[in-house]
Amino acid sequence: MIKIIEAASAERSEILTRDIQLESGVEESVRAIIEGVREGKDEALIAYTEQFDKVRLSSLRVEAEAIEAAYHAQDDVYKETLAAAAENIRAFHQQQVRDGFRMEKEDGVVLGQKITPIERAGLYVPGGTAAYPSSVLMNAIPAKIAGVKELVMTTPPAKDGQIPSFILAAAYVAGVDTVISAGGAQAIAALAYGTQSVPKVDKIVGPGNVFVATAKRMLYGVVDIDMIAGPSEILVIADETGEPARIAADLLSQAEHDKLASAILVTNSRSLANAVSEELEKQIPALWRHEIARASIDTNGRILLVNNIEEAVNIANEIAPEHLEVYLDEPFVWLDKIKNAGSIFLGKYTPEAVGDYFAGPNHTLPTSGTARFSSPLSVDDFIKKTQYISYTKEALQKAKDYVAGFAFKEGLEGHAKSILKRFEK
C-alpha cells in the first residue's frame, strides 16, 4: 500500500536523495562485451546475440524491403495511429529548428555561429516487454528534422529471430535509414566503434536496461549520448477537487513501467489522499502488469500532505520529476512557478500518457532529479554549433594590445607573440 506522509517529515528526504544507480558489478561484464565487439566486430555481435538472445543470426541488417513490408502488413488503425502521432511530433519539433547568426562590425570584424547536423546518429530501441514503437518516433523524428543524414536503429531480435513488425513499421514512418538486429551493451559498442554491418555513429540516443545504460556511460567520449535514464517517475499535484480514480490511474501509468518507478501525489487534502490510496488498491489487481505496479507503489509510491498548493509546487521543484501533472482547475496559474520538471501536464484532461504517445513534445525526459539541469530530447541534441571569427588588419591592430596583455598575464608568451609578430616591421 502507498505511504501517506506529512511533507515536512524525515521520510521526505528519501524522495529528494535519489540518484541514477548503475550496478557496479555490471561494469566488468560490459567492459568485456565492448572490447569483444571492438575486436571481433560482426562476428562478436552475432555471437553475443546468440548468447544473450538465444538467436543465431545469418545477417545483422534488416533489408529496406522488409521494413516497408512490415509497415504495409499492419492494420489500418495502427498505421493511422502512427501517422497521426508522427505528424504531431514533427509539428512540435519543427518549432525547435534554429538558424545560425552573423555579426558584422564597422571595423571589418565578422563573428558568427553556424548550425551543422550530426552526420550519423544511433537509436537504441529496447526489446522484449519494453518494445516501444512510440520511442522510435520520439527519437528518430527530431533527428531527421535536425538534418541527420543517416539514422541507424538497433534493437534485439525476438525468439523467432525477427524484429517485431510493429517496431519496423514505426521505423518506416519515422524515416530510419538502417535497422540492425542486435541489442544490449553489444549493440551500443557496435554503434560506437562500427562493424562490417553497423556504421560508426556520432551520437547514441534511446533508453535501455542497466547493461545498455552502463555501456553508454562507459563509451561517452568515444561517442556522444543523450542521457543516462533512471526509472520512470510521475508527480501529481492535486487539491480537494481532484478525482481519486483518475489520479490513481495516472500514478499507475508510470508505476507499471518498472518496479523501481516512482509515483508521487502531493496534495493539501487528506481526504483525497485516503481516497487515492483506496483507489490504487482497487486498480492495481486489474492491470496486466500488476506485479510490477504493486512493487513500485509499495516501495517507491508516496502521498505527501502539504498545507497549500504553493508548497506543493515548491516540493515539485525540489524533486524535479520526469513527469509533472498539475491536476488543478486553473493549472496555468502555476506554470511560471514550476522550475524543474522534464515535462509538465496541465489540467485534469492532460494525463501523462497523452504525452507519451501522441501530443508531440518528446517523451525522452530527464529522470532522477536531473531535470534541475537538463532537458528533454530535442532537435538540439542532433546539431552542433560552430563559431567563426574573421578580423581585418585594422581590427586586429586595435585589439592587439588587449589580447597580448591577457596572454602575458596568463604567462602564455607564445599567444602574445602570435598577435604582435603581425605588426613587427
Across 281-337, the runs of DSSP E, i.e. the strands, are: 302-305, 323-327
164 and 74 Cβ atoms separated by less than 8 Å? no
Residues 305, 311, 312: CA angle, nearest 5 degrees: 60
Sequence-separated contacts (24+) of 49-55 with Cβ below 8 Å: 49/156, 49/157, 49/181, 49/182, 49/183, 49/186, 52/156, 52/183, 52/184, 52/186, 53/127, 53/156, 53/157, 53/159, 53/183, 53/184, 54/159, 55/157, 55/158, 55/159, 55/160, 55/161
| Alpha-carbon distance values, 257 to 57, 231, 234, 262, 377 (Å) | 30, 8, 11, 10, 20
The amino acid occupying position 232 is S
Phi and psi dihedrals of 17, rounded to 5?
A: -105, 15
Beta bridge partners of 234: 263, 323
Strands 110-117 and 101-104, bridge-based pairing: antiparallel
User: Which residues are tagged catalytic?
Assistant: 322-323
Non-local (6+) Cβ contacts of 315 within 8 A are 7, 12, 266, 304, 306
19 and 369 Cβ atoms separated by less than 8 Å? yes
